[in-house]
A and B are shown apart, each in its own frame.
Chain A
Amino acid sequence: MLSGLALLVLAAIHMVAHHFVVEEVGGLRTYRQVLDYIASPVMFTLESAFLVTVTAHALMGVRNVLLDLGAGPRARRRIDAAMWILGILTVGYGMFLVGTLASRA
């Protein structure tokens, strides 16, 4: 629930920043605009927080759906481990992505 509440703010910022600020079709940024955007310390921090929060929220949701399939204790442990690994990989790759792009600005 806490990740959901945080996402209400972070997802709203993300959507507005990417679709309702830029004066282009679809609100999509050009390559140079993306680099300038992510190089801003405030936006870098907010996007990083969004990445961590949305990944946690998404994988906890997937876990709930999988547990509803009637997983036993052993399967439950495997699901937990898989979600942790997937979450760490997702956040790790996402941080590599935004860090690399910010460094190019």
Chain B
Amino acid sequence: MNRRDDADLPWLAERERPGPVLRKGAGMTPLAWFDPRGRALGSFAFALNRITALGLVLYLYLHLGVLSLLLRGEDAWGDFLRLATTGAFLGLDVLLLFGLLFHGLNGIRVTLVGSGVVPERQRALFWAFTVVGVLALTAGAVRIVGGG
């Protein structure tokens, strides 16, 4: 975002009031987080964190739906397993693992930075966790696709 002169910002008095920070002043538009172009690394991580979050919520309900097949017995579950062990589905499992790893590791990073444990090291943490995540994703993908 471009830097603006403070005098240009509307609702400055509103910003100064104590209390919860609602939408004070001219911030980003409601869906701006979805567009990380031209933003800093932290904004990119924030956007990807939310995208993976929404994907994981969708997966949670898909997962409950799939697990409902267990209620229909062994044959229904066996049919699902035949489908779920195809290459395309195993690829989706790897995508799920990516979402979990990114969301989880970024959550640790945000917690460490936000809680003041390492407030000045958010970029270093991002790259360190990226390395950890890539290693874990590679090992997981080999295990999932390789079938043990």
Chain A residues close to B by CB (< 8 Å): 1, 4-5, 7-8, 11, 15, 19-20, 22-28, 30-32, 34, 54-55, 58-59, 61-62, 65, 68-70, 90, 93-94, 97, 100-101
Pairs across A and B, CB under 8 Å, 25 listed: A8-B108, A11-B100, A11-B104, A19-B144, A24-B85, A24-B147, A25-B85, A25-B148, A26-B89, A26-B144, A26-B147, A27-B143, A27-B147, A27-B148, A28-B81, A28-B84, A28-B85, A30-B81, A31-B77, A31-B78, A32-B74, A59-B57, A90-B60, A93-B64, A97-B71
Q: Which residue of A7, A25, A55 is within 8 Å of B147 (Cβ)?
A: A25
Q: How many residues of chain B are within 8 Å of chain A by beta carbon?
A: 37
Q: Is B62 an interface residue, CB under 8 A from the partner?
A: no
Q: Which residue of A25, A34, A55 is within 8 Å of B90 (Cβ)?
A: A25
Give 10 new A-B contacts, CB below 8 A, not counting A31-B70, A55-B60, A97-B67.
Answer: A20-B143, A25-B85, A25-B147, A26-B90, A31-B77, A54-B60, A62-B54, A68-B30, A90-B64, A94-B64
